[in-house]
């Protein structure tokens, strides 16, 4: 899945995150990819513009992240489940997801709301 490959690339560029977030979480945002990006002060660089998914690379004062919107809840969940194999941190809203390092995703949550999910931790896999 091309879109998932983009997530893997951003996660590699983002590096490791840190920190805890104790702020209150606002109600989960809704809207188009452009409106969500505007809320977090990002000019989205659209990478995928298809009927089922729109995906962009974003960068704001908190760092780099992927922002994606989906046509269906099922499509979103399938994408997240596939993407989690690459590790990373996911901020999940209704028909949207933001993916980046831990600190970036937690900062985005302070604006967009949503639920935090964590991908597979590959550090435990040594060989």
pLDDT tens sequence for the chain (127 residues): 555 555 554 444 444 333 444 568 999 999 999 999 999 999 999 999 999 999 999 999 999 999 999 999 999 999 999 999 999 999 999 999 999 999 999 999 999 999 999 998 766 655 5
- Report the pLDDT value the prediction gives residue 122, as an integer from 0 to 100: 65
Q: What is the DSSP string of 65-94?
A: EEEEEESSHHHHHHHHHHHGGG--EEEEET
- Name the β-bridge partners of 74: none
* Other residues' Cβ atoms within 10 Å of the Cβ of residue 90: 20
Sorted by where each begins, the domain ranges of the chain are 2-16+27-120
**In this structure, are residues 8 and 94 in contact, taking their beta carbons and an 8 Å threshold?**
no
pLDDT for res 18: 39
Report the alpha-carbon distance of residue 90 to residue 104 in Å, rounded: 10
Q: Which pLDDT does position 67 carry in this prediction?
A: 98
């Amino acid at each position: 899945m091309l879109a998932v490959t983009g997530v893997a690339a951003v996660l590699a560029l983002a590096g490791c995150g840190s920190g805890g977030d104790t702020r209150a979480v606002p109600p989960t945002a809704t809207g188009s990819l452009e409106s969500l990006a505007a809320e977090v002060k990002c000019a989205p660089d659209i990478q995928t513009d298809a009927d089922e998914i729109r995906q962009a690379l974003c960068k704001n004062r908190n760092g780099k992240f992927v922002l994606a919107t989906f046509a269906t809840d099922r499509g979103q969940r399938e994408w997240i489940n596939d993407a989690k194999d690459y590790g990373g941190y996911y901020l999940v809203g209704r028909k949207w997801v933001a993916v980046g390092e831990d600190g970036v995703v937690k900062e985005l949550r302070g604006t967009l709301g949503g639920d935090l999910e964590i991908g597979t931790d590959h550090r435990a896999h040594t060989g």
